[in-house]
Structures are given as C-alpha cells and as structure tokens.
C-alpha cells in the first residue's frame, strides 16, 4: 500500500500544528507569565551565584544574547526559531549547552522505554484477544483482573522488589548500568547494555499493558457480537479466522493509539526506573532541574518529551491503514 503525498502532507501539517501549539504554550508559561508579574525570563538561566560574577551583569548579558530585551513579538519569533532548531541555550549550572544535557540523558531511556511500549502493546493485544475468545470464562476474568491490578500497583515498589530478587539475590541481572558495561567494548558493550535493560523492559511492559489490554478486550467483545461477525459465523467461517482476521483488526486500534499517548507519560515517569536501576536519564535530569529550580532545563525536557510523542503519533498515523482496512489514505 503506497502512501499518497496528499495524505502524508496533511498528517505532517496536523502534527506540526500540534507542535506549534506546544511551543506557544511554553512561550506563554515561561515568557509571557513571568513578564506579566515583572519577572525577567533571563533570570531563570542564572544561578544565585556564578564564579563571583554579578548576577545582574549575567542577566543583562543573557538578555542581549537571547533577545529578551526586545519587544514581545520579536522574543516570540526568536523563541519559535530556537525551539524548532533545538537551541535551548546554555546552562550555567551544568556548564554546558542544555541540548547536550538532553542528548546525554535521552538515549538510554529510549533503549528501555521504546521496547517496553512495543512489548506491552503486543502483550495487551495477545491477552486481549484471548479474553475475547474466552469471554465470561475464568481466563477472561483472570486476564481482566490482572490488567486492572497492574494499573494500581506502585511502580517504585515493584522495581525495588524485582531488582532485589533477580539482581541482588539470584544475580541473574546486573543491578546498575556501570556494573553491566564495566570492561566491555564493541558488541560485548551492546550485549551488556541490553542485558541490563532487559529487566526494566520486562517490568515496565507488565506494569503498562493493562489499560491497552482492557481496551483491546472491550472493543474486541463489541466487534465479536456485531452483526457482520454474526453473518460471518452464518457463512461457516471458522471462529479462529474471524477473531484473527476481522475482530482483531477492529479492536487493536485503540490499543495502538494508547501506545502513542502513553509514550510521553512513560518517558516523563522514567525517574522511577532510573532511581532504582541507578542510571542517568530524562527523569533524573528533570528531578535535578526541579530541585535546583533550573527552569530552562525543565522547559527543554518538557518540549523534547512532547516532540517525541508527536513523532510516535505521526508514525502511528502512517500504520493505521495497515492495521484496520476501514482506514484509508485520503
């Protein structure tokens, strides 16, 4: 199935409009609101003390560098340009560009979070369809109960218990990334990194599949009792074929959509994984920024998280027609 240019352009425009709305929201929160309360946004970039240099001088220098002493419409244009080019400025607290901090923190999160979302979606679809096939029976009750239960389990508690059992007691998995990659290089480094990531991936998958499993199950049951499925049964089509070819395609769209929505929330909540498994990622970066009131870093992290969520939603836009034949590239 070829993707028509008109469909592709329309989807790109829609996602760009969403990104544009997020940038406008950030500009309002971090620039317009402070100005309304007579707070110079440049002061967010300057710590209380920095190498003995006057804080007022630093604020004035940042004003000139970032155009924060310009009229508001000029500030808006500059802000829009900087955000779209990932130019978040320089952090005096960390002593390096904020974009470099993001680049350091993001990759290991993606190594863990992206596979866990894919695995949890697959788990949700498989167990959801199993519940559809066994509707009202013990398997369905157990599946649904476990899915709801995972939604209310405190993630931090689960991470600690599982790491203690399989990491410290049994020694099956490394307990932190430094231990995992120590003395490795090349392919052994990659293998060690994925061995370390496998445990949090499995845990996150189990903890995050519940909502998507319930969505798959409920939409699947609704589809299975629809008139067109009754017609297919009357024609003598095997129940297995009906489930896999017709019902599943109609029921997994909500689960796939939820995957795109969950991406931003899981990435923002990565602090639990990072704290327990002792590695530096976006969650830890956000916590440090919040503790130090480092507003520019928090602003940049929020933007990057939403940017990746929009990218995921765009990818899902392109694969929907392959999942559900009712969706067409128009």
Read off the CATH number of the domain in which 176 is found.
1.10.3720.10
In a domain, 302, yes or no: no
Are residues 133 and 49 located together in one domain of the fold?
A: no
Mean pLDDT of the chain: 80
Same structural domain, 60 and 188: no
- What does the pLDDT look like over 220-251, one tens digit per residue? 888 888 888 888 888 888 888 888 887 887 78
Q: Is the pLDDT of residue 329 over 70?
A: no
Q: Which two tokens stand for residue 213?
A: 């499993």
Average pLDDT over residues 88-101: 82
Give me the pLDDT at residue 20, please: 93
Instruction: Note whether 54 and 184 are same-domain residues.
Output: no
Q: Which pLDDT belongs to residue 43?
A: 76
- Tell me what the mean pLDDT of segment 183-194 comes to: 72
* Domains held by the chain: number: 2
> For position 177, what pLDDT does the model report?
65
Same domain, 56 and 146: no
Contact 181, 108 (CB under 8 A): no
Rounded distance between C-alpha atoms, residue 292 and residue 215, angstroms: 40
pLDDT for residue 47 is more than 60: yes
Task: Report the DSSP pairing between strands 90-91 and 96-97.
Answer: antiparallel
**251 CB neighbour count, 10 Å cutoff:** 25
Residue 180: band (very low, low, confident or very high) from pLDDT cuts 50, 70, 90 = low
pLDDT of residue 275: 74
The mean pLDDT value for 56-68 works out to: 73
Does the structure show a pLDDT above 80 at 261?
Answer: no
Q: For position 267, what pLDDT does the model report?
A: 64
> Comparing 77 with 161, which gets the higher pLDDT?
77
Is there a single domain that holds both residue 186 and residue 125? yes
Q: What are the pLDDT digits (tens) for 264-294?
A: 666 655 677 777 777 777 877 888 887 777 8
Domain boundary among 240, 263, 280: 280
Are 13 and 126 in the same domain? no
**What are 8-46's pLDDT values in tens digits?**
888 889 999 999 999 999 999 888 888 888 877 777 777
Sort 154 into a burial class: Cβ within 10 Å, 0-12 / 13-18 / 19+: exposed
Mean pLDDT of 141-167: 80
Question: Where in the sequence is the domain holding 208, given as residue range(s)?
Answer: 105-280
What letter would DSSP give residue 242?
I
Residues 215 and 253 in one domain: yes
pLDDT of residue 37: 82
Whole-angstrom CA distances from 328 to 126, 200, 212, 269, 310 are 25, 37, 23, 35, 21
pLDDT for residue 24? 93
In a domain, 324, yes or no: no
Distance from C-alpha of 111 to C-alpha of 195, rounded to nearest angstrom: 11
Give the whole-angstrom CA distance, residue 11 versus residue 321. 13
Write out the DSSP string of 146-182: HHHHHHHS-HHHHHHHHHIIIIIIS--S-SSHHHHHT
Q: Which of 23-37, 62-76, 163-177 has the lowest mean pLDDT?
A: 163-177
Task: Evaluate whether residue 55 is within a structural domain.
Answer: yes
Q: What percent of the chain has pLDDT over 90?
A: 5
- In the chain, pLDDT over 70 holds for what percent of residues? 87
pLDDT value of position 49: 60
Task: Report if residue 237 sits inside a domain.
Answer: yes
Place 309 in a pLDDT band, splitting at 50, 70 and 90. confident
Confidence grade of residue 176 (pLDDT, cut at 50, 70, 90) = low
- What are the Cα distances from residue 12, in Å, to 7, 171, 264, 311, 313? 9, 47, 19, 10, 11
Dig out the tokens for 265 from the structure.
């929330």
């Amino acid at each position: 199935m070829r993707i028509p240019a008109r469909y592709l352009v329309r989807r790109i425009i829609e996602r760009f409009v969403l990104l544009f709305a997020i940038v406008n929201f950030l500009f309002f929160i971090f620039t317009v609101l402070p100005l309304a309360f007579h707070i110079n946004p440049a002061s967010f970039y300057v710590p209380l003390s920095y190498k003995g240099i006057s804080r007022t001088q630093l604020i004035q220098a940042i004003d000139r560098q970032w155009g924060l002493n310009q009229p508001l419409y000029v500030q808006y244009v500059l802000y829009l340009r900087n955000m779209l080019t990932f130019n978040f400025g320089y952090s005096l607290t960390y002593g390096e560009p904020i974009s470099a901090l993001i680049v350091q923190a993001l990759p290991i999160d993606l190594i863990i979070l992206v596979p866990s979302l894919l695995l949890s979606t697959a788990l949700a679809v498989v167990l959801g369809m199993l519940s559809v096939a066994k509707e009202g029976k013990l398997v369905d009750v157990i599946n649904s109960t476990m899915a709801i239960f995972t939604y209310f389990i405190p993630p931090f508690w689960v991470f600690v218990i599982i790491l203690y059992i399989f990491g410290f007691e049994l020694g099956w998995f490394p307990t932190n990334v430094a231990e995992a990659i120590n003395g490795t290089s090349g392919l052994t480094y990659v293998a060690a990194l994925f061995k370390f990531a496998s445990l949090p991936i499995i845990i996150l998958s189990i903890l995050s599949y519940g909502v998507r499993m319930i969505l798959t199950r409920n939409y699947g049951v609704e589809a299975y009792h629809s008139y067109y499925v009754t017609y297919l049964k009357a024609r003598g089509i095997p129940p297995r074929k009906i489930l896999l070819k017709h019902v599943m395609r109609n029921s997994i769209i909500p689960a796939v959509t939820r995957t795109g929505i969950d991406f931003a929330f899981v990435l923002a909540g990565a602090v639990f994984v990072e704290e327990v498994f002792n590695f530096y990622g976006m969650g830890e970066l956000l916590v440090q920024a919040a503790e130090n009131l480092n507003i520019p870093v928090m602003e940049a992290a929020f933007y990057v998280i939403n940017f990746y969520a929009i990218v995921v939603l765009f990818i899902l836009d392109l694969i929907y027609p392959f999942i559900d034949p009712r969706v067409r590239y128009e």
